[in-house]
């Protein structure tokens, strides 16, 4: 193993890869910093919801199970015969087994470093695709290889750094593993041998066990390229078909073991569908499937449209444009903000268009086979009834393979000087960097009060005058586009629009929020309002929050473990969002769809209430003063 790794490193660390390696390192550092919110010491901090999904699967594997605890999976889980399953492939869970054997200390702490590593691997493999395609077509140079690496580094893969989640981790590794499969298959075409075939089949298997939709493209690539060797290397061709079939069967076996289906997911058994009648009705109208060709008119237009972003004067000066316009005969289930390939992967997209022409004109069958397989990998993301920015990553292999052909052989037009050409490429790289860093920042920080405060402080210093995108909140009116900030009354609350709903940034102390401390060994805390009573009971090292409305059934939260000293208590009751949230020592103790008025409530003496400056809404007061 050690010798194999040394050979790989020696093959990679060559003078031809020097510029590509530097670009890869710089881009990887940027991804790590964005993921950590520019605090590198937080790289291994425990993440939020979904970051422990693969850890939970790893612990389940150690126990000889496939199901996971329902409280971990939450609404993403599928309830099958009383057990809860996750639909994510097992590979990244298997990779966590060395950590899981030592307990739960690493749960939720590995997703950031996993995303960073996958991005590094993807950029590194992009160089090797460029080099191998150059060898096949008789072209290429270190600078041209670096151009392709730069185009991928500033593509939508970079924007995945905006969300530390199982979704983005899976997307990033699916991209890296597909590119690894492509590198191995290009090597197989140049020098057919069993060892290279085994590597390609193993990487295709890894891809399909990471993200099945992209993995189907990797499996198709093994079959297609192997099929091209039928006449010259019959045994290799047969082996490739066996390898592709084996990878496909492995994916089917996992699906059967979890859900009892070959490929589909039982959408009606997902907790999200069981809890949401509208979602259940949507799946019922779509034959119980996530996919349908009816969504193609909508998704194709959205992911290719050139106006998928907007410029604004607030940092980072670029935001998502309007959500997808629905052209299909059936509505989308989820329509979240998304960019497009033409906007956020401009350089890569232009190279890919030129590369497809090169591949067709030269009749380069292995590159044509890989390109078709990459389109197979992208197809499910066009067929799914969800629009999301992260799905653009599934489409990148379909751009990277033909783009490698373009950078290998396309000559610079005689009318364009070398300096002008270099400046144009640099301009497109800077554009991709700006767009994707801006969108990643937007995704990561939109709901953070400090982000809004920083944006408007810079705007005030540079432009002054009334703040842009700030409105008065009108009860019952639909929220505007994402990012618009609304002030409720005399700063009773400050809200920001996100995906058709309001999210609270600040809530007025004593009116919509109560914060304070209490003795962990003290008496039960009671807060009595006209709509109902809130209570927090301390018992044997735990705290249990509950809400008893005047009309309706009482709601009890989950017990929260506490120490023996004083505990911090935070209560938010927001009539705009219609939610009651109680946190104890920064852990959620109760969530309810209720909004009892805290103003004028009777508060027990055991809760020592504290109040922040500016009534808890300093950002709101600053914006109000500017208006």
Angstrom distance (rounded) from CA 526 to CA 537: 9
Which tens digits make up the pLDDT trace of 86-106? 999 999 999 999 999 999 999
Average pLDDT value for residue range 71-77: 89
Determine the average pLDDT of the residues in 436-460.
96
> 134 pLDDT band (50/70/90 cuts)?
very high
Instruction: Give the percent of the chain with pLDDT over 90.
Output: 80
Read off the pLDDT band of 563 (50, 70, 90): confident
Question: Counting runs of H as helices and runs of E as strands, what totals does the chain give?
Answer: 23, 21
Instruction: Fill in the DSSP letter of residue 393.
Output: G
The reported pLDDT for the residue numbered 285 is 94
CA distance 537 to 148: 60
Average pLDDT over residues 475-490: 93
Which H helix or E strand runs over 424?
helix 418-445
288 pLDDT more than 80 = yes
Q: What is the DSSP letter of 323?
A: P
Residue ranges, CATH 2.60.120.200, the chain: 513-610
pLDDT value at residue 34 = 97
For the cut 80, the answer to whether the pLDDT of residue 9 exceeds it is no
pLDDT in tens, 319-376: 999 999 999 999 999 999 999 999 999 999 999 999 999 999 999 999 999 999 999 9
Instruction: Return the minimum-mean-pLDDT range out of 250-254, 261-265, 320-324, 387-391.
Output: 261-265
Q: How far apart are CA 288 and CA 267, in angstroms?
A: 6
Q: Torsions phi, psi of 96, nearest 5?
A: -90, -5
Taking the complete model, does pTM exceed 0.85, yes or no?
A: yes
Comparing CA positions, the residue from 128, 133, 129, 127 lying closest to residue 146 is: 127
CATH topology classification for 513-610: Jelly Rolls (2.60.120)
Higher pLDDT among residues 71 and 12, named by residue:
71
Quick one: pLDDT at residue 612?
Answer: 67
Predicted confidence band of residue 413 (pLDDT cuts 50, 70, 90): confident
| Sequence-distant (≥ 6) Cβ neighbours of residue 163 within 8 angstroms | 390, 440, 443, 444
- What are the start-end ranges of the E strands in 90-231? none
In order of 300, 381, 500, the CA distances from 328 in angstroms are 11, 15, 21
The pLDDT-based confidence of 298 (bands split at 50, 70, 90) is very high
Phi-psi region of 474 (alpha: psi -120 to 50; beta: other; left: phi over 0): beta
- The 3 state secondary structure assigned to 228-267 is HCCCCCHHHHHHHHHHHHHHHHHHHHHHHHHHCCCCCCCH
Per-residue model confidence (pLDDT) at position 418: 81
**CA atoms of 52 and 505, how far apart (whole Å):** 26
């Amino acid at each position: 193993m050690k010798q194999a790794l040394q050979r790989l490193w020696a093959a990679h660390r060559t003078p031809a890869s020097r510029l590509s390696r530097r670009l890869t390192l710089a881009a990887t550092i940027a991804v790590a910093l964005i993921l950590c919110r520019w605090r590198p010491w937080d790289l291994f901090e425990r993440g939020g919801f979904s970051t422990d999904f693969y850890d939970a699967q790893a612990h389940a594997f150690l126990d000889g199970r496939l199901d996971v605890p329902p409280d971990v999976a939450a609404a993403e889980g599928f309830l099958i015969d009383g057990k809860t399953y996750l639909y994510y492939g097992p590979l990244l869970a298997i990779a966590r087994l060395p950590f899981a054997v030592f307990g739960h200390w690493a749960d939720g702490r590995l997703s950031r470093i996993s995303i960073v590593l996958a991005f590094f691997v993807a950029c590194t493999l992009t160089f090797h695709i460029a080099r191998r395609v150059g060898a096949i077509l008789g072209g290429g140079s270190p600078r041209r290889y670096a151009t392709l690496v730069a185009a991928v580094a500033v593509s939508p893969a970079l924007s995945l750094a905006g969300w530390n989640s199982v979704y983005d981790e899976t997307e990033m590794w699916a991209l890296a593993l597909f590119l690894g499969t492509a590198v191995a298959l290009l090597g197989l075409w140049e020098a057919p041998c069993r060892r290279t075939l085994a590597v390609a089949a193993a990487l295709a298997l890894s891809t399909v066990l990471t993200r099945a939709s992209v993995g189907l493209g990797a499996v198709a690539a093994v079959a297609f390229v192997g099929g091209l060797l039928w006449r010259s290397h019959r045994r290799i061709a047969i082996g490739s078909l066996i390898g592709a079939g084996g990878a496909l069967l492995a994916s089917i076996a996992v699906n059967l073991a979890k859900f009892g289906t070959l490929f589909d997911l039982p959408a009606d058994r997902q907790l999200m569908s069981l809890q949401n009648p509208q979602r259940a009705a949507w799946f019922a109208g779509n034959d119980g499937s996530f996919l349908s060709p009816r969504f193609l008119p909508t998704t194709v237009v959205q992911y290719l449209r050139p106006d998928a972003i907007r410029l604004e004067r607030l940092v980072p000066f670029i935001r998502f444009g309007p959500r997808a316009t629905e052209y299909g005969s059936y509505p989308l289930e989820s329509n979240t903000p998304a960019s497009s390939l033409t906007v956020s992967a401009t350089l890569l997209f232009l190279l890919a268009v030129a590369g497809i022409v090169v591949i067709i004109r030269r009749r380069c069958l292995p590159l044509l086979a890989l390109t078709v397989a990459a389109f197979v990998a992208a197809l499910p993301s066009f067929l799914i009834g969800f629009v999301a920015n992260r799905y653009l990553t599934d489409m990148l292999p379909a751009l990277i393979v033909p783009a490698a052909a373009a950078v290998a052989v396309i000559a610079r037009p005689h009318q364009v000087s070398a300096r002008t050409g270099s400046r144009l490429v640099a301009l497109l790289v800077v554009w991709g960097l700006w767009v994707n860093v801006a969108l990643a920042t937007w995704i990561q920080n939109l709901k953070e009060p400090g982000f809004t405060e920083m944006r408007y402080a810079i705007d005030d210093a540079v432009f002054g005058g009334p703040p842009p995108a700030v409105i008065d909140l009108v009860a019952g009116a639909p929220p505007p586009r994402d990012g618009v900030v609304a002030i409720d009354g005399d700063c009773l609350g400050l809200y920001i629009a996100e995906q058709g709903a309001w999210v609270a940034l600040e809530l007025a102390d004593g009116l919509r929020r109560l914060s304070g401390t209490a003795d962990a060994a003290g008496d039960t805390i009671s807060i009595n309002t006209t709509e109902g009573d809130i209570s927090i009971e301390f018992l044997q090292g735990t705290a249990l929050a509950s809400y008893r409305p005047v009309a309706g059934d009482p709601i009890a939260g989950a017990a929260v473990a506490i120490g023996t000293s004083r505990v911090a208590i935070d209560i938010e009751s927001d009539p705009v969002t219609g939610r009651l949230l109680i946190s104890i020592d920064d852990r959620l103790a109760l969530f309810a769809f209720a909004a009892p008025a805290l103003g004028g409530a009777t508060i027990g003496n055991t809760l020592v209430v504290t109040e922040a400056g500016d009534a808890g809404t300093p950002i709101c007061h600053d914006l109000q003063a500017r208006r």
